Amino acid sequence: MTRHPELKGFLQRYFGVFIAAYFSSIIAVAWTFALVWSTYCRSCSKDGVLPWSLLATLTVFMLGHGAVVRGRAWGAWLVAGLCVGCMVLTLATYGHRPNLFIYTSSLLAALVTLLLLNCQRYREMRIRLAEYRAKRRLARQARR
């Protein structure tokens, strides 16, 4: 299978920062979810609310990163909002004496994600993906 040379250069330049932001946001969301359910909702009925809250969180997470990949600028804002929400929820669990490793790791992962979303390379990647999206739209219009 041959690859377009532009794709190879794009992946070499931007894949590392994208995958680092993706995995650090996964860690932030997962550990925040675990902290919230082990502190606030320790006595809650986990039959109905837990799966739906996990599904809603994962939907927002996948929608944000998927939108970034498809060249939509609002996707990065969705991921940033999710990370800020993770930080706020994690900070609020401190009074319940959470596991300090998970607590600090969750905060650190959310901060690293926000740092990566704001770095120059990630911004360049978002601009290039938006350009590719515009090219695809023009190609579709030309075929019609």
pLDDT score of 46: 62
Banded pLDDT at 96 (limits 50, 70, 90) = confident
Place of tokens 């300090």: 100
- Higher pLDDT pick, 48 / 122: 122
Task: Write the CA distances from 49 to 36, 40, 46, 77, 96, integer angstroms.
Answer: 13, 13, 6, 26, 21
pTM: predicted TM-score of the whole model, two decimal places:
0.86
d(CA 100, CA 105) in angstroms, rounded, equals 8
pLDDT at residue 25 greater than cutoff 90 = yes
pLDDT of residue 90: 93
Q: Which residues contact 24 (CB under 8 A, 6 or more apart)?
A: 109, 110, 112, 113, 116
- C-beta atoms surrounding 126 within 10 Å: 20
